[in-house]
């Protein structure tokens, strides 16, 4: 992103896109759970939850993590700007959108729909893979964001202790849930990790099914005899 004077981006939006989240807070470096996962729109800086006393009257936006990248809940970002046509994902029963484009290790193949800005494969009918990609495209076309921004005087965090307070990275198999508009070749997943996890699951299922016995069969005398049967004493073969 260029400076706000040339792109006409508001200061909070420019800071949000350039900020690095989930680093340790230098002010509370000796405290536990000091990750900077909150963005203060009034101070234009990332803070941790230990800093909330100094920002209790400010507009606060919680940054979450999904597949190890920064995301914002759709319900929160819609109070600040138009995020239509940005591909959303579901995690912890909430829809989220990526803040920045994710790095691509391979070019997407056989994808019928790609992000207008970064060419990442998307599901239909989305046009952008992240908030940043939509902003970049708007700035290239219109040169300003004023028509897409909303006035928001109050923006609060969820209650501490609720399921929505923190979002942990999703399991690797969550990445395999794609619709007909997306392709497996566009998924940034460690294939070796997936194969190892899948093999472990298959072995676990085989071991479980091997010892699964119905209640009726378990109570039968024949099964009890078979289970308690022991081999006799070993005998040496006779010498010729």
* 105-108-113 Cα angle (round to 5): 140
The pLDDT of residue 210:
43
The pLDDT of residue 112:
81
Q: What is the per-residue pLDDT across 127-143, written as a single tens digit (0 to 9) for each?
A: 999 999 999 999 999 88
The answer on pLDDT for 227 being more than 70 is: no
39 contact partners, CB below 8 Å, separation of at least 6: 15, 16, 19, 21, 45, 46, 47, 60, 61, 62, 63
Q: Are 7 and 139 in contact (CB under 8 A)?
A: yes
Please state, in angstroms and rounded to a whole number, the distance separating the CA atoms of residues 188 and 105.
7
Please identify which residue in the block is written with the tokens 């920002």.
Answer: 55
Q: Are 155 and 80 in contact (CB under 8 A)?
A: yes
Instruction: Produce one character per residue of 88-117: b if its CB has 16 or more CB atoms within 10 Å, e if not.
Output: ebebeebebbbbbbeeeeeebeebebbbbb
The residue among 235 and 19 whose pLDDT is bigger is 19
Q: Model confidence at 93, in pLDDT bands (50, 70, 90)?
A: confident
Written as six digits, the tokens of 125 are 């009918």
Q: What is the per-residue pLDDT across 208-223, written as a single tens digit (0 to 9) for each?
A: 444 444 555 555 555 4
Q: What is the per-residue pLDDT across 60-73, written as a single tens digit (0 to 9) for each?
A: 999 999 999 999 99
């Amino acid at each position: 992103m260029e400076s706000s004077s040339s792109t006409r981006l508001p200061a909070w939006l420019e800071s949000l896109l350039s900020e690095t989240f989930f680093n340790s807070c230098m002010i509370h470096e000796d405290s536990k759970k000091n990750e900077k996962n909150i963005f203060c729109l009034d101070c234009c800086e990332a803070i941790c939850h230990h800093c909330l006393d100094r920002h209790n009257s400010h507009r606060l936006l919680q940054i979450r993590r999904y597949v190890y990248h920064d995301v914002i809940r759709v319900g929160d970002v819609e109070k600040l700007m138009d995020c239509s046509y940005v591909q959303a994902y579901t995690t912890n029963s909430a829809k989220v959108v990526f803040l920045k484009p994710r790095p691509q290790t391979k070019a997407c193949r056989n994808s019928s729909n790609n992000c207008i800005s970064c060419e990442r494969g998307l599901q239909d009918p989305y046009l952008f893979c992240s908030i940043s990609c939509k902003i970049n495209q708007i700035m290239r076309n219109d040169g300003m964001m004023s028509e897409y921004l909303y006035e928001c005087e109050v923006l609060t965090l969820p209650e501490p202790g609720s399921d929505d307070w923190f979002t942990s990275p999703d399991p690797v198999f969550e990445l395999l849930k794609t619709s007909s508009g997306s392709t497996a070749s566009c998924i940034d997943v460690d294939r070796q990790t997936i194969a190892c996890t899948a093999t472990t699951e298959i072995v676990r299922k085989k071991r479980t099914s091997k010892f699964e016995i119905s209640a009726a069969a378990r109570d039968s005398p024949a099964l009890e005899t078979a289970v308690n049967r022991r081999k006799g004493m070993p005998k040496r073969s006779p010498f010729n």
